[in-house]
Structure 1
Amino acid sequence: MARAASQGRAAGSRLPRRQGRSCGVVTRPLPLPSILTSMRIAYLAPNIPVPGTHGGSTHVTNVYRQLSKRHDVLLYCRAGSTEPGALSRGLNVHPVLQKGLLPAAFAATVGAVRRFRPDVIYERYSAFGLGPLLARATGAPCVLMTLDRDASALSFRYSDRIVATSAEFIPVEYRDKLRIVHWGVDVDGLVGKSGAALRARHAPRGERIVLYTGSFPDWHGVEVLVEVARSWSGPDVVFLLVGDGQDKSYVERLAASRGVAGRVVFAGRVPHGEIGAYIDAADVCVAPYAPSKHYIFRVYGMNRDPIKVLEYMALGKVAITIDTPRMRELFKADEEILLYRAEDPDDLRRTLMKALTDADMRARVGSAGASLVRSRYTWSHHAEELEAVFGEVVRR
């Protein structure tokens, strides 16, 4: 079926035509007809290790594995990746260098991609235009996935479709190509992991555990948890921070200087397969983003789907994160999630106190959040959204 779809394309090497300038956004692509249920997909994520421990790795790994259940997928990812069958030749370099190395990336991949004979090319924005170049070399259409405006102008202009979680950061002239999608979680990979041993280790006197998981860039706002810990006067609490990253040492020094090093515990980097146990061990889970520290979020608002929040909710834990329009689009505040004013430690402290002292509320919100995520925000559901978009461009 995939080869028949390939042969139906117009022959010849070309850049896909630039689309019209309408601003319409399609949020629900049409179902994929059965004739295209099997495709050959070249997936470009050159700077992402697969598998890996940070959010980008979680995203790419799960999308690749879900798509591979029904399609033949060639994944181009970072050198050193251990995912079986992946084309692991990409470099982890600064975006400016990544853009400058585009000709080298093309030379390193074009032969393998031509031999693969893709029906569609799916470019993660950090490939910076490699997708349209390979589309021209193979005659396949190209779909761009972007999280912000950092994608290449080449990608915005010459991709046949764009997928994102929001239209806010997509240039107006390309929004007619936009299809809104939602990120997901690997529920099966999270469930069934007991947190009993972690509770015994980190909360031996029965303390409540407030959990954070993820990396430590400044815009993740982890230092606000140190400020909450400094003036905490509620039930005995351990703030358990799981992960690593550029600002972790700063947050560690801050905890020591505030005198809360015993209350704020740094678990370090752990394999993603163990995250379910940490969530199971927690009483409450927090994603304390700081949008003012991220240029894109300051200008366009924080419009990403928060994967860590979805993971917390999938296991029935009360998730607490910042109050933004995007969060209110995804979740019902006080029914499926708890929200607080971004970068306001006093409001976060009050929200945490409410969650930790009201067991009935924790059970109610946790159960509603789990039902929502498991029914709507899974990687399987996201893969179906992508299949519908791929089907649109392949049919053209």
Structure 2
Amino acid sequence: MRGRKMGMRILGLAQVPLGRHDGASAHVIGLYSELARLGAEVRCILPGTLPASTPLPFQAIYVPTGRDIRRWTFIWHLLSPWWFLGAVLRYRPQVVYLRGHLLLPHLVLARLLGRPAAVEINEDKSGELEWQGEWRRRLARLNRIIERWSYRLAWRLLPVTPQLRDLLVHEHGVEPARCRVVSNGFDPAVFFPRPKEEAKRYLGLDARRRYIAFVSQLTPRHSLDLLVQGFAVLAGQVPDVDLLVVGEGMARPQMMRWCEELGIGERVIFAGEVPAERAAWYIAAAECGVAQLRADRNARRVGASPLKLWAYLGCARPVLVGQVPNLAEIIREWDCGLVIEEETPAAFAAAARYLLEHPEKAEEMGQRGYAGALAGYTWHAVAQKTLAILEEALHAA
């Protein structure tokens, strides 16, 4: 494949500010880096600027959006079509690969300039807006119209879950032949199995205690209330286990208040936002990892493919998940963790306690998950699939 795809000129566009230690940044850097290593000539239009000390194996073209979170999105939507037009005319890519919202101007330009476009789809933005109030429901209807026109102009659509693919086909009328599911992935050079004792020493954690890891942005959509309440039940049953919370977000103060109110403040370690390399050590120190515990209305429709799932499995740790489409299917099919059948604190505590009381089975689950993730969900494997689809779009055009 490397020789056959050598030299393909790809222009990417991603509405993702780099320089933050979050899943979206990891996805963009991981995927585009591997596309470049596979021999493609890759450039990507991005908002803001990444610190110069951060090396990238692909060329980044920055739109000067600034760092003010209240304004950069508006500036991005205003300026990025012009940067896209300039990049197409200057670099003459063979194919364009887009990620973000309100992509209709970019797709119209791609059609007019004769460049086949593929769109990566990570969420159903209109579906999220529909249950956030009346004026947002009106905005969702407008956004849905824009999405449908955008999807008609794209040569290929790359949803990250089978549920998103089904939504595109059944609700947007997209031909199934134009949809290809390409999951998220992980970097096996960062997330790989390490001994728990070594990880605890590296992080300065108490070697006598056991840990459960939760690596995520701290936002209300990530079931933080259920996590804290469930861990409070577990903490009352198992005296030598603590919770490692790795990540930042608007909900951290509320989460800390819940911990204090439930009397588990000293049993929860907030590590903050850390680089992926350090997050991998926290996962390695844990007995298991916690992914999404609750499926809201939108998640039930589109499923989930969070990077934390692949990070946990890359470190060979079993995973606790709720009844979340796509996540639950992976855990059950690979037998690499436990699916919590009820959205209650007691059910979470029971599942976590089972893994703590059966370390041999937990180890076997982690190894099965690691084997499955390594076989087809590294960023290298994801880039190979993506490159094949881009070549398909190029030939179809």
Q: Scaled by the length of structure 1, what TM-score is found?
A: 0.82
Residue of structure 2 equivalent to 1:219? 221
Q: Could you tell me which runs of 5 or more consecutive residues in structure 2 were left unpaired when the two chains were aligned.
A: 126-142
Matched, 1:157 2:152: yes
Residue of structure 2 equivalent to 1:306? 306
Partner SS state of residue 11, structure 2: strand
Deviation of 1:209 after TM superposition, in Å, equals: 0.4
CA distance in 1, matches of 2:207, 2:284: 18
CA distance in 1, matches of 2:334, 2:84: 48
Q: Could you tell me which runs of 5 or more consecutive residues in structure 1 were left unpaired when the two chains were aligned.
A: 1-31
Question: What is the correspondence of 1:276-295 to structure 2 with a 5 Å cutoff?
Answer: 276-292=280-296, 295=297
Deviation of 1:235 after TM superposition, in Å, equals: 4.6
Residue of structure 2 equivalent to 1:358? 358
Deviation of 1:95 after TM superposition, in Å, equals: 10
Residue of structure 2 equivalent to 1:86? 60
CA distance in 2, matches of 1:379, 1:114: 29
The one-letter amino acid of 1:263's match is R
Partner residue of 2:167 out of 166, 169, 178: 169
Deviation of 1:189 after TM superposition, in Å, equals: 1.9
CA distance in 2, matches of 1:77, 1:180: 24
137-146 vs 103-112, which moves further? 103-112
Residue of structure 2 equivalent to 1:258? 262
Please state which structure has a larger fraction of its residues in helix. Answer: 2
Partner SS state of residue 180, structure 1: coil
CA distance in 2, matches of 1:226, 1:269: 19
Contact 1:141 1:394 in 2 (8 A): yes
Partner SS state of residue 321, structure 2: strand
- Structure 1 residues 246, 289: CA separation in 2 closer, same or farther (over 3 Å shift)? farther
Please give the per-residue CA displacement for 1:8-66, whole angstroms capped at 9, x wherever unaligned.
Answer: xxxxxxxxxxxxxxxxxxxxxxxx796544311111113x1234311111111101101
- Structure 1 residues 193, 354: CA separation in 2 closer, same or farther (over 3 Å shift)? closer
Contact 2:222 2:294 in 1 (8 A): yes
Deviation of 1:96 after TM superposition, in Å, equals: 11
CA distance in 2, matches of 1:119, 1:230: 55
Residue of structure 1 equivalent to 2:139? none
Residue of structure 1 equivalent to 2:345? 345
Residue of structure 2 equivalent to 1:268? 272
Partner SS state of residue 21, structure 2: coil
Residue of structure 2 equivalent to 1:25? none
Contact 2:229 2:345 in 1 (8 A): yes
The one-letter amino acid of 2:92's match is R
Residue of structure 2 equivalent to 1:327? 327
CA distance in 2, matches of 1:126, 1:94: 16
119-128 vs 90-99, which moves further? 90-99
- Structure 1 residues 175, 55: CA separation in 2 closer, same or farther (over 3 Å shift)? farther
Deviation of 1:262 after TM superposition, in Å, equals: 0.3
CA distance in 2, matches of 1:199, 1:262: 17
The one-letter amino acid of 1:109's match is F
Please give the per-residue CA displacement for 1:117-151, whole angstroms capped at 9, x wherever unaligned.
Answer: 11111010336334303413532111011122337
CA distance in 1, matches of 2:197, 2:263: 28
CA distance in 2, matches of 1:128, 1:314: 33
Partner SS state of residue 168, structure 1: helix
Partner residue of 1:68 out of 2, 23, 36: 36
Contact 1:241 1:268 in 2 (8 A): yes
Residue of structure 1 equivalent to 2:187? 186
CA distance in 2, matches of 1:224, 1:268: 20
Partner residue of 1:139 out of 114, 117, 123: 114
Deviation of 1:251 after TM superposition, in Å, equals: 0.5
Residue of structure 2 equivalent to 1:29? none
Partner SS state of residue 190, structure 1: coil
Identity %: 22
Contact 1:114 1:137 in 2 (8 A): no
CA distance in 1, matches of 2:85, 2:392: 24
Contact 1:289 1:342 in 2 (8 A): no
- Structure 1 residues 325, 377: CA separation in 2 closer, same or farther (over 3 Å shift)? same
CA distance in 2, matches of 1:394, 1:380: 21
Deviation of 1:216 after TM superposition, in Å, equals: 1.0
CA distance in 1, matches of 2:259, 2:309: 24
Deviation of 1:378 after TM superposition, in Å, equals: 1.1
Contact 2:213 2:289 in 1 (8 A): yes
Partner SS state of residue 385, structure 1: helix
CA distance in 1, matches of 2:2, 2:266: 57
Please give the per-residue CA displacement for 1:244-280, whole angstroms capped at 9, x wherever unaligned.
Answer: 0121111111111111100111111101122221111
Partner SS state of residue 390, structure 1: helix
Contact 1:99 1:128 in 2 (8 A): no
CA distance in 2, matches of 1:279, 1:323: 22
CA distance in 1, matches of 2:102, 2:204: 41
Partner SS state of residue 223, structure 1: helix
CA distance in 2, matches of 1:381, 1:279: 23
Deviation of 1:195 after TM superposition, in Å, equals: 6.1
Partner SS state of residue 231, structure 1: helix
Contact 1:225 1:239 in 2 (8 A): no
CA distance in 1, matches of 2:188, 2:205: 26
Partner SS state of residue 356, structure 2: helix
Contact 1:123 1:130 in 2 (8 A): no
Q: Scaled by the length of structure 2, what TM-score is found?
A: 0.82
- Structure 1 residues 119, 93: CA separation in 2 closer, same or farther (over 3 Å shift)? farther
Please give the per-residue CA displacement for 1:137-186, whole angstroms capped at 9, x wherever unaligned.
Answer: 53211101112233742421211110112223323411432111122111
Contact 2:295 2:324 in 1 (8 A): no
CA distance in 1, matches of 2:14, 2:342: 31
